Structure 1
Amino acid sequence: MNKKILGLVVSPGEAEKKVNTLIDMIPCALKEVSQNTEEWQVQTIVDSLTGSAESINEIFQKINAHTKKNAWDVTIGITDLPIFHEGKVVNADINEKNDVILISLPSLGWKLKKNVIKQLIIKMALTISESDNDSNNKRSPSFINIFPRNYKSVRLKIKETDSFHTRFILGSKIKGYMRILTGMTFINNPLNMLQTLSGVLAIGFTTGAFCMAFTTMWQLSYLFNGWRLLLASVSSILGMLAWITVSHNLWEVPSKKNRKKFRKLYNLTTLSTLMSSILIFYFILFLLFLLLSVTLLPPSFLGQTLGIKEGIGFTRYLDMHGLLLL
C-alpha cells in the first residue's frame, strides 16, 4: 500500500475551523476512494495566505515553500480570498508545475458546509494523485455536486508562475459575483459581530422596557401608520449601519494597493455582513419586546388606556414594538 501525505495550508478563521473538523475524516475517505491502494496522512499548517487577490503568484510561492519544507505528496491551499479570471470567479486553480492546488473558499457561496469542503478536498487530492500515476489523466474530474452546473475547466499558461494551470471557472459573471459576495459574508460570520453588540442589545432592551412603562409610547404607536413605522425602522437600521462602518473605519478607500473592482467587492461584503448582523440584532430585540409586552400588558388594559372599545389585536403589539426598536 502506497503511503502519501496530504498537506493543507489553510487561512486562519472560518476556513481553519472548517478544516479542523475534517482532519480525522479525510484520510479514511481518501483510502476508501482509492480502494485501499493508498494510505493517506493529513498535515495542516495555518498561513494567512494574504498576498493579493489580483495576483496569486505570491500565494502559490508561500504554499510551494510549505510543500518543499514538509515533503508533501499533494498540497492544497485553502484561502478566503476571491480569485478571478477575465472577470469570472475561479473556484480552484491547479498549478501543474508543482502540483499545488489553490481553493477559493468564498467561491463556494452559501455552500460552506463541512461535507462540501470535504468532498472538494478529496476530489482535488485524487486529481493530483491520479495524474501522477497516469500521465494521460487530464485533471478534469466532475464537480457538479459542488460547483454550479455552468462551471468549466480551462487550461492555460500563467506568466506570473511560468507554468500551466487548470482553473475551474464559473460561467456567469453576475452569478459568480453574487456567489463570491455570499461566500465572503458567510466567512465573515455575522453571528460573531453579535458578541460585540451584546452590550448594545442589553442597553436597547433596558431602554425599551423602561419606555414601555409610559402610556405615551403606547399612544404614539397607535397614531403611527404602518408605512410611517416601516420608514422609521429602515432609517434606524441604515443609520446604525452607517455609524458602525464609519466609527470602526471599515470602509476601504482608494489606494495604490487595491484595485477598484476588489475594493467595491470588499466594501459590499462589509455592508452585507454588517446588515446581516444588524437585522439579527433587531430581530432578537423584537422578540424580547414582544415577550415582555404580552406578559406585562394585557390586551384589555392596553385597549382601555388607548380608548379602543373593540380591544387590542396582535398587530397593535407589533406596531408598538416597531416604535420601541427606534
Structure 2
Amino acid sequence: MTTVDASPVMVVHVIADPGLPSRRLAAIRDSLQGRLQVLSRRPLEVESRSELLRIRPDHALEARAVENLSEGRVDLVILLTEIPRYLKRRPLIAEAYPDERVAIVSCPTVGAWATKSKLLRIIVDCAYRLMTMDDVAETYTDDGWGQWVSRDERKSLIMLANPRTGFARTVLGVILGNEPWRTAPKLSRALATAAATGAFGVFYNSIWQMSDALSTGRLLVISVLAVCSMVVWLLVSNKLWDRPRYARLSKVVLLYNLSTVMTLLICVIWLYAALWVFIFVSGLIVIDPSFMASVLNEDVGINNYASIAWLSASMGVVAGALGSGFDDQVDMRHITMGMRERQRAYTQQPETEVEESTS
C-alpha cells in the first residue's frame, strides 16, 4: 500500500460542464479520489464543481476557469467539457498542458459505452502527466491507456481517438449528451396532436378495413415515412440543420448535424411507440371483436388490433408533424443545441482566427 508523505496536500480541482459531464463526475468522484491518492506521493484532495466552461477557438480558457491556480489554492485543474474537440479532422479526447498544470477532457469523444470507467482512466492519465516526477508515487505504474502525442509548438500532450472508430464514437457521445430520453416527453404538444388524429383509427371502420388489406411491408414503409416526415419537419421548422461557413469546419458541423438527426429520430420513435401502445390498448377496450368481424367479414384476432394501431399511429405521427414542436424554446435548445449553441461560436469566427484544432 502506498505511503503518503507528510507533505502539503495536493489539491486537484475538476470542473465539469453542467448536465451529463457533471453527473458523470459526481458518480466517479470517490473512485477518482482513491485512484489519484494511489498515484500521488503527497496527501491528495479532489475538489469538484459544475460550471459552464468557455473554451475559445484558440483553446484559451476564461480566466475564472483557472483563477485558483494563479492564487496557489490548487495544484492541478482538469476540465470536463461537453464540446467535441478536433485536431486534424480526428476527435481530440484529451489535452494536457504540464507547464500550466491544466488538462481538458472532451466527454463526447469518450463514446456511449462504459463512459464512467473510461472517463475515470482518462482523468487519472491526465493527472499523471500534469504531476512532476517528485509528486508521483514510486509504486504507481502508468497503464499506458490511450496514445499520447507531444505537441512541441504548444508544449502540450494530446490523446487522439482512433481514426477508424473515433468519429462514430463521438457522434454517439454527442447523442448521449443530448439525453433524448429526458426530453422526448417534452414533445407533449406533438403527442397530443398525434393521439387525437390516431384515435380516428379506433372509431372509423374504414381504417380497420384498410389496415387489414395492407401487407406488413406496406405498413412498415408507411411507418418509416411517417417518422421521417416528423424528423424533417422538426429540423426545418426549428432551423436545426447547420451549414459550415468554411470548408475546413465541415467535419465538425457534420458531426453536429448527424447527432441532431439521430437525437430527433430517437425522440420521434419514442413518440411513435407511445402512440401505438395508446391506440392498441384503446382499440382492445372500445372495439368489440364480433363487431369488427362483421365489418371485415372474417375472423379477427390480436393481429387485427395491432395492424389498426400500426396504421393509426402512422397517421397520427404525420398529423403530429404538421403541428409538432417543443413546448418551449428552452426544450428545443436542450434536446439538440445544448452544445451546438456554443459550437456556433467556432463557425462565426473569422477564418484567420480559427485554430487548426477545429478543422
Q: So what's the TM-score if we normalise by structure 2?
A: 0.75
2:65, 2:244 → 1: CA distance? 29
Closer, same or farther: CA 264–197 of 1 in aligned 2, 3 Å: same
Q: Partner of 1:222 in structure 2?
A: 212
The percentage of counterpart residues that share the same residue type is 21
1:238, 1:206 → 2: CA distance? 20
Q: Partner of 2:161 in structure 1?
A: 170
Q: Partner of 1:44 in structure 2?
A: 49
1:16 partnered with 2:22: yes
Q: Partner of 1:146 in structure 2?
A: none
2:160, 2:207 → 1: CA distance? 55
1:156, 1:167 → 2: CA distance? 7
Gapped regions of structure 1 (runs ≥ 5): 144-150
Residues 3-27 of structure 1 deviation map (CA, whole Å, 9 limit, x = unaligned): 1211122222321233244445543
Deviation at 1:118, TM superposition (A): 3.6
1:36, 1:153 → 2: CA distance? 23
Deviation at 1:225, TM superposition (A): 1.9
Q: Root-mean-square deviation (CA), in Å?
A: 3.1
Q: Partner of 2:112 in structure 1?
A: 110
Instruction: State whether residues 227 and 268 of structure 2, in contact with CA within 8 Å, keep that contact through their aligned partners in structure 1.
Output: yes
Q: What amino acid is the match of 2:15?
A: V
Q: Partner of 1:285 in structure 2?
A: 275
5 Å-filtered alignment, 1:10-89, equals 10-23=16-29, 26-31=32-37, 33-34=38-39, 38-52=43-57, 55=58, 57-59=59-61, 63-65=65-67, 67-69=69-71, 71-89=73-91
Instruction: State whether residues 211 and 311 of structure 2, in contact with CA within 8 Å, keep that contact through their aligned partners in structure 1.
Output: yes
Q: What amino acid is the match of 1:12?
A: P
Q: So what's the TM-score if we normalise by structure 1?
A: 0.82
Question: Which of 139, 156, 163 pairs up with 2:151?
Answer: 156
1:135, 1:60 → 2: CA distance? 32
Deviation at 1:181, TM superposition (A): 0.4
Q: How many residues align?
A: 308
Q: Partner of 1:319 in structure 2?
A: 307
Residues 229-265 of structure 1 deviation map (CA, whole Å, 9 limit, x = unaligned): 2222111111111111111111113325982221111
Closer, same or farther: CA 83–108 of 1 in aligned 2, 3 Å: same
Instruction: State whether residues 98 and 131 of structure 2, in contact with CA within 8 Å, keep that contact through their aligned partners in structure 1.
Output: no
Match of 2:241, SS?
coil
Instruction: State whether residues 15 and 77 of structure 2, in contact with CA within 8 Å, keep that contact through their aligned partners in structure 1.
Output: yes
1:307 partnered with 2:297: yes
Q: Partner of 1:147 in structure 2?
A: none
5 Å-filtered alignment, 1:193-204, equals 193-204=183-194
Residues 128-176 of structure 1 deviation map (CA, whole Å, 9 limit, x = unaligned): 3364525999x95433xxxxxxx5221222x4xx32x2222223x2311
Higher relative contact order (CA 8 A, sep 6+): 2
Which is worse superposed, 127-136 or 286-295? 127-136
1:263, 1:204 → 2: CA distance? 32
Deviation at 1:270, TM superposition (A): 1.0
2:80, 2:90 → 1: CA distance? 19
1:240 partnered with 2:246: no
